[in-house]
Amino acid sequence: MKRSITLAAALTATLLGCGGPVEPTIVQGTAAEHGEALFQDPEIAGTDLNTYSCATCHADDASATSPIRPGGPLQGVTERPSYWGGQELDLLRAVNDCLYYFMLKDTLWTADDEEARAMYAYLESLPAEPADKAAAPFTVVVTIEDLPPGDAAPGQALYDRACGTCHGPAHTGADRLIPRAPILPEDTLSAHPIGTYTATEQRLVFIEKARHGAFLGYTGQMPPLSQEKLADAELADILEYLGLYDQ
């Protein structure tokens, strides 16, 4: 049974012409509708340093031209036996991993929190087939090794799909998700210059960032791209497109 709740939209106290504050808008909705709103809202992290929402990394569209998002599909997620490639056995802990590592939230949800209950209601409402309830494949590449050269032609399209959403176009970073997201490859190369790093070591920096992200201790907010999301050959194509085999 869906639980009816009241949602209060948090509005900034903007002054009107008459000098009075804007009144909050009260919206009636279900717990699942509340959870869907939270799913789209970066403000669930409670910090101005975060611009991710759950929808940044999780999306239903899995076409050949849609963005390659690091998060897995969420249909059936409330009935899966494990998460994060078997590293978590509890859904709330898995959600809190995202909130903490990637969204920089200090105070994590408990099972009694209204936001956690609403998010669960939303996830539970997603239509699912029996196959959706199995643990989603998620292979994290733990040992980082250099990759053989790839192909720059498919690498450009792969970059746009896997990297462009957050980092913007290569070399310019125009319209990237946040100003501190590095412009690729220039910002990362300037932080790891030739002379201090070899060309091979520079590539390993890019590979480790893509494969580990913040979840395995690499700096920043980037989630890891699993083998299922981006194969080694595809990652090599991106590196080739960025000119990292020409150093």
Average pLDDT for runs of 10 along the chain of length 247: 41 41 70 96 94 88 82 94 94 96 94 97 96 92 94 97 95 92 96 96 95 81 92 98 91
Asked if residues 68 and 123 have their Cβ atoms less than 8 Å apart, the reply is no
Answer yes or no: is 170 within a domain. yes
Answer yes or no: is 141 within a domain. no
Residue 24, domain extent: 4-133
Are 21 and 113 contained in the same domain? yes
235, amino acid identity: L
d(CA 125, CA 128): 9
pLDDT of residue 216: 80
Are 73 and 100 contained in the same domain? yes
Are 168 and 106 contained in the same domain? no
Are 128 and 15 contained in the same domain? yes
Answer yes or no: is 143 within a domain. no
Select from 245, 240, 222 the least CA-distant residue to 56. 222
Asked if residues 223 and 215 have their Cβ atoms less than 8 Å apart, the reply is yes
Are 203 and 122 contained in the same domain? no
Are 116 and 69 contained in the same domain? yes
pLDDT of residue 220: 80
The DSSP code for 178 is: S
pLDDT of residue 149: 97
pLDDT of residue 233: 98
pLDDT of residue 4: 41
Answer yes or no: is 215 within a domain. yes
Q: pTM here?
A: 0.84
pLDDT of residue 27: 64
